[in-house]
Amino acid sequence: MTMYSEYGIDSVWLCTTVFVFLSTYYYMKNRNKRKCLPPGPTGLPLVGYIPFMGNHPPRKYVELAKKYGPVFSVNIGSETYVILNDYESIQEALVKNGHAFSGRPQFYVLRRLTNGYGIIFRDFDEHFKEQRKFTLMTLRGFGVGKRSMEDRITEEIEYFTDLIASYNGKSFNCQTVLSTSVSNVICSIAMGSRFSYDDEVFKEMVQMLNRGFGDKRDAIHLALLTYAPGLRHFPILSGAFKRMINDIENVLAVFRDIIEEHRKTFDIDNTRDYIDEYLKQMELRGEEKSSFKEEQLLQTMRDFFLAGTETTSSTLRWCFLCFAHYPKIQEKVSKEVKQVIGSGVPSMSHKEAMPYTCAFIHEITRHRTLVPLSVPHITTEDVEFRGYKIPKGTPVLPNLYAVNHDPNVFKNPDDFKPERFIDDTGKFVPSNQVVPFSVGPRYCLGEQLAKMELFLFLTNIIQRFEIVPDPEKHLPSFHESIIGMAEAALPYEASFRQR
C-alpha cells in the first residue's frame, strides 16, 4: 500500500491527473506560442515531435516542408522551433536579418556544460561579440590562412603518416588517430606545442571531447538531452548526463593545468600562442571589468577542441570511407596528386591546379553535411519574417542538410558526384549553396582552418597510401551514419597500403 492510498488517493488516479495537467499546460503554452508562427505539426506532450522524427530528423523536416512549406514550426521537447528548409530562407534569416536571428538558446544542458561562457553556445551579447572578434584576430595573427599555419598542419601530418605507416598495411579504425592528429593542430594554435600520440592524458581528453560524435548511443543521448532536457531525470539518460558533466569537468581540469603552466613562463611582451594572448588581455583589461576571464578562456579552449577537432576528423573519415567504397574516385584524386605534386610536399599553392580534388572535397561537405541542423539559433528580438511575427526568444533551426540536398539545385542529390562542380573546361566551380559551415554572424570560426586541413591531410594521405577495405570485415555503407548533433560515419576499419 502506497503513502497516497493511506489517504484514500489512488496512485493511478494521481499519475493520470498529473499527466493531464502537464499535457494541458503544454498544449496551452504552445498554442499561445504558435499563434503568430508558421504552421506545422505539434506532436505529443513534453516530447513534442521527437517520437516521429525517425532516424534522420533533417530528412524528416524535408518531408514536412513539402506539406507546410520551406519555413514551418515544430514542437521539439517543450519548445516550439521554427525550421528553415531552403537556401533562400536561411540567407534571409541568418544573413539579411542576422542581428535578429543570431542568439543561442540557453538550454539547461548547454548551460550546465558551459556555465554561460565560450563562443559556440554563448548568447549574442556584447561579450560574445568582443570575444569572437578577439579570437578571429588572434587566430589570423598566429597564421590561420597564412604560411605559418600551413607549416603547423604539414608538420603534424608527418607524425600522422608515420603512425599510419607503422600499421604496415593492416586494417584498423582510424578514428582515434585522426582525432588525435587534428587535435594537435589545435594544440599548436592554442598552446604553442603538441602532445605525443602516446600521452595518456591527451588521449583521454580527445576521447571525452569526441564521445558525442563517434558513439551512436552517446550521440543520440546528447541530442535528446539538448532538445528535451527534462529527459535527464529518466534512469538511462540521467547516467549519460552525469557522464557528460564529468567529462567536461575533467577536460577543463587539464586546461587549467596548461594555463597555470603558461602563467609560470608568461611574458607580456613575447606572447607565444592563443593562451598567452588571452592572458595578456586579462592583465591589460582587468578580469573584473571585462569579458576576459579565466572561465571564458577555459570554455573557449573547449570550443576549439570540440569544433576544431571532430568536424575535420569526421569529414576525413567520410573521405576515406568513400575511397574504400569507390576506388575509381580514389584513383582520380591519386592521379591528379601525382600529376600536380608528384613526390613533392603538398601545399596550398597546389590547390588551384587540382580541380577534381577540390570538387571531391566540396562534394563530401555537401553530400555528408556534418552538422545537418547547424547549431540552434534563437531570435533576439520580435521580427517580421515571411509574413509571420516571430517573437523574441523563438528557437530556430537552419536545415543545412535540406540546402545541400536540394534537388532544384543539385540533380540527383543523393548521388555522390564530384563532377557536378567541374565545368566544361575542366575548371572547379564551387556552389554558394553548399553551406557546411553555416552563414551569417555565427558562421563557423574555424572554416578557413578546416578547409586548409582537409586539403593538406587528404593530398598527403593519397600521395602515400591507397585505402582499401578489409575483405574479412564489414564495411558500413557510405550512405549510413550516426545521427546526433552531428552526422558521423559508422565505425569501420580499412587498410592504408603504401604506394
Predicted TM-score (pTM) of this structure: 0.89
Q: How far is residue 77 from each of residues 27, 228, 255, measured CA to CA in Å? A: 12, 4, 33
* pLDDT for 145: 47
DSSP conformation letters of 283-318: HHH-TTTSS--HHHHHHHHHHHHHHHHHHHHHHHHH
**Helices and strands in the chain, H and E counts:** 19, 10
* pLDDT for 3: 43
* pLDDT for 143: 52
Q: What's the CA gap between 140 and 147, in Å, rounded?
A: 11
All three cell numbers of 74: 515544430
Length of the chain in terms of residues written: 499
Please list the ranges in the chain whose pLDDT falls under 70. Answer: 1-34, 142-147, 209-216
Nearest by Cα to 38 from 343, 357, 355, 394? 394
DSSP conformation letters of 206-256: HHHHTHHHH-HHHHHHHHHHHH-GGGGGSHHHHHHHHHHHHHHHHHHHHHH
* pLDDT for 44: 85
All three cell numbers of 400: 543545412
Rg (CA), the chain: 24
φ/ψ of 35, rounded to 5, equals -55, -40
CATH number of 106-387+411-498: 1.10.630.10
Q: Which residues of 191-225 are buried (b: 16+ CB within 10 A; e: fewer)?
A: bbebbebeeeebbebbbbbbbbbbbeebbbbbbbb
Q: What's the CA gap between 488 and 441, in Å, rounded?
A: 26
* pLDDT for 476: 94
* pLDDT for 38: 94
Q: How far is residue 355 from each of residues 429, 431, 463, measured CA to CA in Å? A: 8, 14, 16
* pLDDT for 7: 42
Query: What would you measure as the largest C-alpha separation in the chain, in angstroms?
Result: 85
Sign of CA dihedral 477, 482, 488, 491: negative
* pLDDT for 347: 95
Sign of CA dihedral 263, 269, 270, 271: positive
* pLDDT for 313: 92
